[in-house]
Amino acid sequence: LSAEHSGALAHHFDTLEQQHNAATLGLWAFLLTEVMLFGAVLTCYAIYGAAYPAEFAEASRHLSVVLGGVNTAVLLGSSLSMALAVRAAQLGQRRATVYFLLLTLVLGTAFLGIKMSEYYAEYREHLIPALNFSADHEGRAEKWASAGLNAAHVQLFFVFYFVLTGLHAVHMLIGMGLLAVLAARTRAGRYSAEYYTPIELGGLYWHFVDIVWIFLFPLLYLISRHGGGG
Amino acid sequence: MHKHVESLRNYFLVFAALLALTATTVGVSYLRLGALHAPAALLIASLKAALVILFFMHVLHGSRLVWLVIVAAVLFLGIMLVLFFSDYASRGWLPETTPAKQLRTTDIR
């Protein structure tokens, strides 16, 4: 009840529990719109992937499964750390909450660092559409032509790759900003075992961004590892 | 306030399962499964997403209203996928020449 007197309870709610449930439901409704945003781009990707399977397979083989796989593990680790931060907040363990929020932030930064190193490798291989994509790099034009591959369709894969991973990276940056604010406010004693709703909501958002990557990794990196197209 | 605090053991078990499923999806992608690749990858990704949603996002012990939102998300995603793919998959089934014949997923090249 102390939190209700300290101003955490907005005047249009009766109890902190009612406020917590309303806020959680609201964030889930927001996540539903995010599902449709990523879902629409992934649907386009699937349709063009079905239209140009050989080119999309060839393009996907230019991505590093090792870096993508390590990044998946890093992001799953950040989700575990976030879950532990929310758990510590539920139990009113302020120092542990700050520690796990900062650990989540560090793992998120590591993910983006690895992602940037991948982008740099793709820049050096002239694979970035609208910036430096080139079919004629290290003799691949002849290779693609002899395999009957259309370079424009290979480039289309990279359009989807950069839109999807870029949109995901923007969500990561927003999530990392939220984590920094939550860590600072937790340290300042703004939350308690009775009132930790913002940390719970930050956790929901972070886990959602993790789920997006759970789908992006196999769909972008793993579609063609067995050899031929399709 | 009613709240369910998950045990540390469960959180680490979920994390271990997520890592194991990631290794599985990489391994499966190197097998020769033909047309089953995409369904296998989507099945494993859905399992991972379900684990994150049920445990990390507290839905297992959460409000039923949240379940309703998740069902709505899956339903609308399903409507979008079914309508798009029934359109593109069935182009060219009718004999007459229409603008729709210009983009077919099967013989576009």
Q: What is the mean pLDDT of each run of 10 residues along chain A (230 residues)?
A: 66 91 95 96 93 92 95 98 97 97 98 97 92 87 90 95 97 98 96 95 98 97 70
Task: Please say whether the dihedral angle defined by the alpha carbons of residues B53, B57, B59 and B65, taken in this order, is positive or negative.
Answer: negative
Q: Which two tokens stand for residue A205?
A: 């958002």
CA of B74 vs chain A CAs: smallest distance (Å): 9
Quick one: which of A79, A230, A101, A38 has its CA closest to B48?
A79
Chain A contact present for B25, CB below 8 A: yes
ipTM entry: 0.92
Place B102 in a pLDDT band, splitting at 50, 70 and 90. low
Residue range A70-89, pLDDT digits in tens: 999 999 999 999 999 999 99
Task: Please say whether the dihedral angle defined by the alpha carbons of residues B19, A205, A71 and A104, taken in this order, is positive or negative.
Answer: negative
- Which residues in chain B are closer than 8 Å to A40, comparing Cβ atoms? 80
Question: What distance in Å separates the CA atoms of residue A220 and residue A222, rounded to the nearest whole number?
Answer: 6
Question: What distance in Å separates the CA atoms of residue A13 and residue B32, rounded to the nearest whole number?
Answer: 57
Q: How many CB pairs under 8 A join A and B?
A: 143
Q: Which one has a higher pLDDT value, B91 or A187?
A: A187
Q: Which two tokens stand for residue B91?
A: 């182009």
Chain A contact present for B95, CB below 8 A: no
Exposure letters A56-67 (e unless 16+ CB within 10 A, then b):
bbbbbeebebee
Query: Are A92 and A186 a contacting pair, CB within 8 Å?
Result: no
Q: DSSP secondary-structure letter at A57?
A: H
